[in-house]
Each structure stands twice: as structure tokens, then as C-alpha cells.
Amino acid sequence: MGILNITPDSFYDGSRLSGVDGALRRAERMLEEGAMLLDIGGESTRPGADPVPLEEEIRRVVPTVEAIARTFPDAVISVDTYKSEVARRSVEVGAHIINDISGGTFDPDILKVAAEYGTGIILNHIRGKPKDMQRNPHYDDAPAEVLRELMDRVARAKDFGVPDESICIDPGIGFGKRLEDNLRLIKAADRFVASGYVVLYGVSRKSFIGMALGYDDPADRLYATLGVHAYLYLKGVHVLRVHDVRETADVVGIIRHIERS
């Protein structure tokens, strides 16, 4: 899954795009490099980020989704939003999947949108909101607690009429977790895979890598990111949300060659 951030303030400046033309160029490159999905977002959800007003997020996201859907009709498009109206308008112009960092907890109507339109939905785990989620997070057993809370969100989505086959779960690396929690959630990826749901991990260039290895600049975190991607792939994770498509595709590709040899 290639990341398309239509934002001026995403944590990794190499991922920031300012308009439809730039997004189309980036989308074309990612698809050529092997992306199977494109994730389009108009609000940074990095720790400490302020929310974007609804109309501004719609202005950023919906024309981009529409242009990519029209230009690349075979592309599978995900919209990265927790706002039901952004999700609805994006689906109406071509998005196939809703990627909600709140797992349907910030705006439960987003679950109605997924059920009504028959889209896929990615239920991410988070405690708190991006503005405050990193203020003293605590877990006694992060994998067990996160999996339990995700299953609660899955049950709620099903109550709204979203079928099992439309649900993907994401443990939410970096969303209200300490370094040790993130590492344990990665180590326990197979436990999430064993849930039977499609599992997505988003670790690309995130701050836990910088904390572990001493890299303040996200630009320095590529190689460690690829190491985590290889680990997660071998654990059975189905979807990797990435900034660097070609590099990740090469990692996965060589592992597949080895496994088939």
C-alpha cells in the first residue's frame, strides 16, 4: 500500500504532496513500482497534530481520489480518514476502502458508510487522539490489549452491517504506544494474523525506529523500515503501508524467490 499524503505537515517531508497533479505523478510511479493499493489522506495524524477542518480535508482529498480513479481505473484506492463525510464523498468518486485511524470510534457514522457502500474498512487501534495520544500511554501487555480492543471494534463494525470479509485490522504502530509497545506489537504480528482478519501494519519511517536506533530524521530510517517490513512479511502480515514502494517490493520479491527455491 503506497502512501499519498495530500498534506503540508506529514512527519516525513518526502511524502508530502500539494495538489492533484503531484498526486497523479506519485500514484503513477507507485503503481509502476508495484503498489497494489494507494492510500490517500488529507490530514496528518502524527503525534501532536491538530485536526484539519472538514471542508479543508474534503478539498484536499476528494478531487485527488476522483482524479486517480479516473486516470488509473484499475487502481485500488483507500481513503485515510476518520470523518464519515470525507469517506462518503471519497467512495462516491472512486475509493474502494476506508482507512480509519480510530477504528470507527471518532465518528461511528463511518461504519454506516462502509456498510452502505460495501467498501472495505481498515480498523486501526488508537488510544486518545493524535493531539494527545503520546501523553503517557501505558500497557501491561500491549499485544493482548490491542488485539482485544481491535476485536471490540470489529464487533461494532459488524453490528453496523460490515461483513467479516470487508474488515482489515491494524495494530496502530505509533498511535498511543511507547517504544517497547511498538516493538512487542511487531514481534506479535502472527497473533494478529491468527485472528483470521486481513492484517495491515504501518511502520514506514516512524519515530519508534528513530528512538530505537537514534535517527531523528525520518529520511534516515529507510533501511530499518525495510528490515521491519521483511520481518512482518515473514510473520504473515498481508498489507504493508509504505512510503517506499520499490524498495519494499524488492524486499518482498527476494523473500518470495527464496521461499520458492
C-alpha torsion angle, residues 187, 215, 4, 231 (rounded to 10): -20
Whether residue 53 is contained in a domain is answered as yes
Whether residue 223 is contained in a domain is answered as no
Q: How many domains does the chain have?
A: 1
- Out of 241, 246, 256, 260, the active site residue is 241
Interacting residues of 1 by C-beta distance below 8 A, sequence separation 6+: 35, 36, 37, 38, 39, 78, 200, 239, 240, 241, 242
Fill in the DSSP letter of residue 153.
Answer: H
Q: What letters, b where the CB count within 10 A reaches 16 and e where it falls short, cover 49-63? A: bebbeeeebbebbbe
- Out of 60, 184, 206, 221, the active site residue is 206
Residue carrying the nine cell digits 499519498: 4
Whether residue 221 is contained in a domain is answered as no
The grid coordinates of residue 130 equal 493524535
- Encode pLDDT of 91-103 as tens digits: 999 999 999 999 9
74 CB-contact burial (10 Å; exposed 0-12 / middle 13-18 / buried 19+): exposed
CATH number where 108 lies: 3.20.20.20
Average pLDDT over residues 222-243: 99
Does residue 241 have an active-site annotation? yes
Whether residue 73 is contained in a domain is answered as yes
Q: Does residue 14 have a pLDDT over 80?
A: no
The stretches of 6-99 forming alpha helices (DSSP H) are 20-33, 54-71, 84-92
Q: Does residue 50 have a pLDDT over 90?
A: no
56 or 14: which leads in pLDDT: 56
Whether residue 132 is contained in a domain is answered as yes
Does residue 206 have an active-site annotation? yes
The parent domain of residue 240 ranges over 2-202+232-260
Partners of 201 in beta bridges:
240
Whether residue 222 is contained in a domain is answered as no
- Residue 47 pLDDT grade (very low, low, confident, very high; cuts 50, 70, 90): confident
Whether residue 124 is contained in a domain is answered as yes
Q: Does residue 245 have a pLDDT over 70?
A: yes
Whether residue 217 is contained in a domain is answered as no
Instruction: Give the angle subtended at the CA of 187 by the CAs of 181 and 188, to the nearest 5°.
Output: 90
Q: What percent of the chain has pLDDT over 70?
A: 97
